[in-house]
Amino acid sequence: MTTFKSKHPHTFDLPRRINRLGELAYNLWWTWNPLAQRLFNRIDNNLWESVNHNPILFLHKIERRLLNAAAQDANYLSIYDTVFTMFDNYIQRKDTWYATQHPKNDGQIAYFSMEFGLHETLPIYSGGLGVLAGDHLKETSDLGLPLIGVGLLYTEGYFSQRISEDGWQETSNNPLNFDNLPPARVLKEDGSELTLQVDFPNGPVTARIWELRIGRTPLYLLDTNIDANDPTVRQLTTRLYWSDINLRVMQEILLGIGGVRALRALGYSPTVWHMNEGHAAFMTLERARELVKAGKTFEEAINETRTHNVFTTHTPVPAGNDEFPLWLVDKYLANLWPELGLTRDQFIDLARHQQNWGETFSMPVLALKFSDGRNGVSELHGMVSRRMWKNLWPEKSINDVPITYITNGVHSQTWMARRIRNLYDKYFGEDWLEHIDDFEMWEKIEAIPPQELWAVRSHLKRKLVFYMQERTRERWMKGGYHPVQVVAAGGLLDPYVLTIGFGRRFATYKRAGLALSEFERMLKIVNQPNRPVQIIFAGKAHPADEPGKMLIQEVYRKVKKAESGGRLVFLEDYDMNIARYLVQGVDVWMNTPRRPNEASGTSGMKAALNGALNFSVLDGWWREAYNGDNGWAIGPDADLDSNVQDSADAESLYDTLENEIIPLYYTGRDANDVPVKWVQRVKESMRTITPQFSTRRMVKEYTERLYMPAMEKNGKKK
Ligand SMILES: *Cc1c(COP(=O)(O)O)cnc(C)c1O
């Protein structure tokens, strides 16, 4: 392939001995390596926190005096040399898992997603879908998969959230400064920007391409926010998920069609094309169009490409399954059907979806029909998806609908606290990270003395509480904060109390209010002398989701009541940074979706690998993970009618909390005040959950079950 340069706007002026810090800042590898983070925070921890863990901004702001001192400090230099040995070995490594398993394969995999959650400084994600995509890329880098990510670069990112005194979500969008962020524009030999064009009704639109390095894996991000485009078009890549359907369909055309063209412009020809959710499904048509242009019929083209397409569906909830009215398709895609050799009706038929309110063009239908690899993201979600899409395979029984499942996982190194890693270094042996999905290795967890594990857990909880108090202090000092908000934001939290976390998008099916539904009973629980409990809520609602915003308000109004004693808390502006503090610091991670709407969920996996216990509805991943001894279930393993379910789940939640969780935490302490039975449960949870619900296991499964079959198939469908 042709080579292109990617250009960073600045280089740094660094002391020669430590000048590779600049290189490190531009490869997201540092985000999952605590020792690499030490290279920044050891120089000036205050600055590191105040720049929100952004190494590029850090290097722009750091005082030269401190850099010079670091370059003279033998301890610092020893860490520096270790980190760069690790980094170089990592990037150059030849005997990766993939290279060992599939030595003869030189095909590449393209991975398209509307959002990527890689780090808090690059807010181009809104929630679990994006974080999963980010974790997927980090793992493909670790495993050595020849995968290329494709997405959009949102120049304002996702919004920041503030909560008013009355509990109303206020949003602000701030332009990101790409001088201080790791994506770099891709340039041609002559120094001009590499661009591509996509056709819209008012003429062609130009997009430029940015490159981001995630270890070994490249991610290309498209951006239309440039002078050559008209103002409407420029908006396409300012924010995630416009609610205006015109902008929404244009964003998806840009991702699906523009994404394929970007890869072509860069010189790639991937063999496997993976759509992470239906947003990217126009990709199937662009790939067919390429072959039609080369002389094939549409039939031939679509059959040939279909065998190489993989589609992952992520939710049964309608808001997550985009479909467009037919007039919108007429407006934006009329230029495409002649290029495919189709009439308008034939084109609509590709993704026609009959709803009781009319016909639509459905993105998941398009993706399902034109991919041979199809999966849901947990066992239950696989079953739900087969039922949901059965009408596309009228001749098959529900069980035979060709949608399989691969349960989600998390990138363990991204989410695991440094102190927990240190424990494993000590008790598992040096190369435990290489074997993170090896169940047998996890038997070694019994070797960790309960007291040591408990000391780490207590440390992480203190860290969470102090962090929340510090944030609250800063917020208070900025002014405009009512004193009650100081309490509601965590000003009165206690680092020695049983602490429950609930952090996720405030979509109504997640029922954030369930734990407060019998409020008087909950007040008794949180304020019980000698056995108090704290609950920390956090999460954003999509700005157009009125019921979601009302749910935040309902929770906030209860949280701020004096009777809550400051033990019920709402933490503003949930993002990957807060998620890390929460999943590492709480004792219990609670999830209360209305089953079976939580396709998988992943935050509970992050909590488990840090030693928090899950307390959740048997939906998504937790239905597979729960074994009776590694956490607690809310409600039965059955689908109930939603009204019955709400009250049954609330009863189960209160009951389990009062009779099992609280007593286990506060009683049976040994001479060192360690709750030994609790710690035993924590070990059982870490042992059973960490290896199974890791992206290590997940990406290996995608490779063997979906990527390799799509790689090996040649042309014609059987
Ligand atoms: C992991 C994560 C999620 C996913 O939450 P679930 O409710 O478990 O799906 C959402 N947002 C952020 C910031 C996360 O880190």
Q: Tell me, yes or no, whether 601 lies in a domain.
A: yes
Answer with the one of 72, 92, 112 that is the final residue of a domain: 92
What's the confidence (pLDDT) of residue 317?
Answer: 87
Residue 420 located in a structural domain: no
Q: How far is the CA of 128 from the centre of ligand 1 (A)?
A: 4
**Averaged pLDDT, 301-320:** 94
Mutation test residue for ligand 1: of 505, 510, 511, the one with most atoms within 8 Å of CB: 505
Same domain, 239 and 370: yes
What is the mean predicted confidence (pLDDT) over 470-478? 95
63 in the same domain as 103: no
Q: Is the CB of 131 under 6 A from ligand 1?
A: yes
Domain presence at residue 414? no
pLDDT tier for residue 715 given thresholds of 50, 70 and 90: very low
Is residue 237 domain-shared with residue 367, that is, in the same domain? yes
The atom of ligand 1 lying closest to the CA of 132 is 1
- Most ligand 1 atoms within 8 A of CB, residue of 120, 131, 136 to mutate: 131
Residue of 240, 377, 416, 504 to mutate, ligand 1, most atoms within 8 A of C-beta? 504
Question: 718 pLDDT band (50/70/90 cuts)?
Answer: very low
Last-in-domain residue among 49, 73, 92:
92
How deeply is 231 buried, as exposed, middle or buried, from its count of CB atoms within 10 A (0-12, 13-18, 19+)? exposed
**DSSP assignment, residue 257?**
I
Q: How far is the CA of 504 from the centre of ligand 1 (A)?
A: 5
pLDDT at 8: 65
Assigned domain for 391 exists: yes
72 lies in the same domain as 217: no
Same domain, 358 and 459: no
Give yes or no for residue 127 CB within 6 A of ligand 1.
yes
- Considering the domain architecture, whether residues 62 and 135 belong to the same structural domain is answered as no
Q: Which residue has the tokens 């494993």?
A: 424
Q: What residue owns the CA closest to ligand 1's atom 1?
A: 603
- Protein residue closest via CA to atom 3 of ligand 1: 128
* Protein residue whose Cα sits closest to atom 4 of ligand 1: 128
Residue 718, domain member (yes or no)? no
Residue 436 pLDDT greater than 90, yes or no:
yes
Convert the pLDDT of each residue in 514-536 to its tens digit.
Answer: 999 999 999 999 999 999 999 99
The whole-angstrom distance between residue 252's C-alpha and the CA centroid of its chain comes to: 19
For the cut 80, the answer to whether the pLDDT of residue 714 exceeds it is no
| Separation of CA 349 and ligand 1 centre (Å) | 35
Instruction: Please give the number of the atom of ligand 1 that sits closest to the Cα of 504.
Output: 7
Specify whether 196 is located in the same domain as 219: yes
The closest-lying atom of ligand 1 relative to the alpha carbon of residue 574 is 13
Per-residue pLDDT reduced to its tens digit, 150-196? 999 999 999 999 999 999 999 999 899 999 999 999 999 999 999 99
Q: Calculate the average pLDDT of the chain.
A: 95
* Per-residue pLDDT at 510: 93
User: Do 326 and 374 belong together in one domain?
Assistant: yes
Ligand 1 centroid distance, CA of 536 (Å): 15
Q: Could you list the residue range(s) of the whole structural domain that residue 69 is in?
A: 5-92
- Does this model's pTM top 0.95? yes
Strands 358-362 and 323-325: antiparallel
240-244, 285-289, 561-565: least confidently modelled range: 240-244
pLDDT band at 717 (very low <50, low <70, confident <90, very high): very low
Residues 585 and 465 in one domain: yes
Average pLDDT, stretch 436-463? 98
DSSP character string of 103-142: TT----EEEEES-----TTS----SHHHHHHHHHHHHHHH
Q: Please check whether residue 407 is in contact with residue 698, taking contact to mean a CB–CB distance below 8 angstroms.
A: yes
pLDDT-derived band at 3, boundaries 50, 70, 90 = low
Write the CATH number for 431.
Answer: 3.40.50.2000
| Mean pLDDT (whole number) for 203-230 | 96
Q: Total structural domains in the chain?
A: 3
**Which tens digit of pLDDT belongs to each residue from 572-612?**
999 999 999 999 999 999 999 999 999 999 999 999 999 99
Distance in Å, CA 262 to ligand 1 centroid: 29
Answer whether 601 contacts ligand 1 (Cβ < 6 A). Answer: yes
576 CA to middle of ligand 1, Å?
A: 8
Where does residue 562 rank: exposed (0-12), middle (13-18), buried (19+ CB within 10 A)?
exposed
Residue 101 shares a structural domain with residue 78? no
Kindly state the average pLDDT of the residues 611-626.
98
Query: For ligand 1, what atom is nearest to the CA of residue 604?
Result: 8
Q: 342 and 451 share a domain?
A: no
Residue 661: which pLDDT band, with cuts at 50, 70 and 90? very high
Residue 106 clears pLDDT 60, i.e. is over it? yes
In a domain, 606, yes or no: yes
User: Which of 71, 92, 113 corresponds to the end of one domain?
Assistant: 92
Q: Atom 11, ligand 1: which residue's CA is nearest?
A: 127
266: left (phi over 0), alpha (psi -120 to 50) or beta: alpha
Q: How far is CA 75 from CA 35, 426, 564, in A?
A: 13, 21, 48
The arithmetic mean of pLDDT across residues 38-51, rounded, is: 97
Does 515 fall in a domain?
yes
Distance 604 CA to ligand 1 centre (A): 9
User: Quick one: 465 and 553 in the same domain?
Assistant: yes
In a domain, 416, yes or no: no
Q: Rounded to an integer, what distance in angstroms lies between the CA atom of residue 565 and that of residue 552?
A: 19
How remote is the CA of residue 690 from the centroid of ligand 1, in Å? Answer: 17
Please work out whether the CB of residue 409 comes within 6 Å of at least one atom of ligand 1: no
Atom of ligand 1 nearest to the CA of 602: 8
Q: Is the pLDDT of residue 716 over 70?
A: no
Distance CA 597, CA 247 (A): 27
